Structure 1
Amino acid sequence: MAATEFGQAVRRWRERTSPESAGLPLGGRRRTPGLRREELSQLAGISVDYITRLEQGRATSPSQQVVEALARALRLSGTERAHLFRLGGLQPPQPDSVPAHLTPGVQRVLDRLTGTPVAVYDAAWTLLVANPPYAALMGDPSAWRGLERNAVWRNFLGPNDRVRHTPQSRHALQTALVADLRTATARYPADQRLKRLVAELHGESDRFAELWDTGIAGHHEAARKTIDHPHAGAVTLDCDILTVAGSDLRIMVYTAEPGTEDAERLALITTLGTQTLVG
């Protein structure tokens, strides 16, 4: 019964959410004014097959990550979001946990930056949402699960990403990430997922343990980064970390100086990459 109610709620909210309100073009003729399953899949980073099984009550026990992604994609209110968590058999996130809710203002900013690579992270550097240009530039993160979605974990324990680093730039990045994580643990001491993240990093990465135990401090600064794209080659971009007043959200934005070869290369990556992701 619970699985059926969860699926019915997802379908009901999907059918009431217009493409325009979700930042998507209206497109051609539609059977329903709401989102297609394919569009919800694109927005939430969840496969169409899994959404179908959820709506039909054939998939049970969705993870917190899946419920959060659906709530975000469907633009649910706080009350609706909490209700969806309960229908999924989960406790809604508590005030003393790292918030993963995107404010309407942040969501509208993302909707308008359709040609710019943008990703939003929470206070613990867990990826909440990445737009199609970001996925085209950095690699599609939709298949990442659990700790794979955490930038600190990926930096210390995961596979190499596409960003080219010098020893100095890697040290600065790791220092800033550890400092941010320490700040998050102080602000959200009751968050169990955050505690497990720090414990795993401390136990599995000597480098993380060294930085953590020294209490080193640092902060993110604007930087120029070179990304080695597998098809377009090297592209050098400005990477800025924007913060939202009254929120712990971190918005990562990649831009290129207009009129440069890097700008042309980024435009090519964005155009071809997003076509591949949507197709």
Structure 2
Amino acid sequence: MSRAELADFLRRRREALRPAHMPATAVHPPGLRARRTPGLRREEVAALAGVSTSYYERLEQARAPRPSPQVLSALGTALRLTDAEREHLARLAGQIPPSTDVDRASAPAGAHRLLHRLGPIPAYVVNDLEDIVAWNAAAVALIIDFAQLPVHERNTVRLAIRLGGTLCSAPVGAEGDFARQSAAHLRAAGARHPADRALGELVNEYAAHNPDFIAGWRSHDVHPRPMLRKRLHHPELGELELERQTLLMPGTSLRLVLYTADPHSPSATALAQLGPPDRAP
């Protein structure tokens, strides 16, 4: 159990809730002081979860013993947690054991077959640490020849640090979305692999590079963002407006990342021109 991480997660989720979004009977219990900050009070969360205020305060102060599954379920309901956030809460509280070591080098044969069948759709597969473990020829033609990179640099975060200013950017209104998405994925991965030193090194590396990542990390957000808008600057095809879709591969912790464009758009026409026939790594 990570008491400090659990305390921080509970506090961040409590502060993210707004009293206006809660039932009138759930907030403003009689006798409470005037509200000075946004978010629910500890007393209100405790009342919603059916636990004592002193116990909930100890949870947020990293002083309480491990909460039971019943208490975690009640807290998840009180804080309106998503399924991903409930799983993260259970991992931080020690109700779900840490996962085995990340497989950093390979993807199952089925993933390679899927990438091949995607043809002109640029796609790659990433693991928990954002390492790119498989890709297709269209992704090489769109982004970079991953096979020519050292293994430790085949990583979406490290590529963002290395190429972000020249390869891609975010459309207006989407600035920082990729960094915050990366923070959410790595936060969740940290709960699954709490002893993984490589993950900690990656977090520190990106935090030193990107303030949006720092903000996302501190918010303790673990909610996945399945789609991002990207503006990619291709040396031959010009500027492309793309959607970066992320799909979890069933039965694994791997994610499939695909780049698509709006149908019949100039970017879709350009994508159709990409690359030589597919070859799997």
TM-score, normalised via structure 2 length = 0.55
Task: Rate the CA distance shift 1:233–1:245 in 2: closer, same or farther, 3 A.
Answer: same
Aligned to 2:239: 234
Give, in whole Å, the separation in 2 of the partners of 1:118 and 1:171: 22
* CA apart distance, 1:218: 4.3
Q: Is the 8 A contact 1:96 1:191 kept in 2?
A: no
Aligned to 1:55: none
* CA apart distance, 1:216: 4.0
What percentage of residue pairs aligned between the two structures are identical?
27
Alignment gaps of 5+ in structure 2: 1-98
Task: Rate the CA distance shift 1:208–1:239 in 2: closer, same or farther, 3 A.
Answer: closer
Q: Amino acid of the residue matched to residue 176 of structure 2?
A: H
Determine helix, strand or coil for the equivalent of 2:176: helix
| Corresponding residue pairs, total | 181
Give, in whole Å, the separation in 1 of the partners of 2:261 and 2:211: 35
Match of 2:195 among 190, 194, 199: 190
* CA apart distance, 1:248: 1.1
1:254 and 2:256 are equivalent in the alignment: no
User: Residues 103-146 of structure 1, C-alpha deviation per residue, up to 9 Å, x if partnerless?
Assistant: 23322211211222111111111111221111111222222225
Give, in whole Å, the separation in 1 of the partners of 2:265 and 2:213: 37
Q: Is the 8 A contact 2:182 2:213 kept in 1?
A: no
1:126 and 2:126 are equivalent in the alignment: no
Q: Amino acid of the residue matched to residue 274 of structure 1?
A: P
Aligned to 1:274: 276
Task: Rate the CA distance shift 1:202–1:224 in 2: closer, same or farther, 3 A.
Answer: closer
1:114 and 2:119 are equivalent in the alignment: yes
1:158 and 2:162 are equivalent in the alignment: yes
Task: Rate the CA distance shift 1:246–1:236 in 2: closer, same or farther, 3 A.
Answer: same
Alignment gaps of 5+ in structure 1: 1-94
User: Residues 233-272 of structure 1, C-alpha deviation per residue, up to 9 Å, x if partnerless?
Assistant: 122233211111221111111223444432321122x1xx
Determine helix, strand or coil for the equivalent of 1:182: helix
Matches within 5 A, 1:84-233: 96-100=100-104, 101-155=106-160, 157-160=161-164, 161-166=166-171, 168-202=173-207, 207-233=212-238
Q: Amino acid of the residue matched to residue 177 of structure 2?
A: A
Give, in whole Å, the separation in 2 of the partners of 1:214 and 1:164: 23
Q: Amino acid of the residue matched to residue 146 of structure 2?
A: P
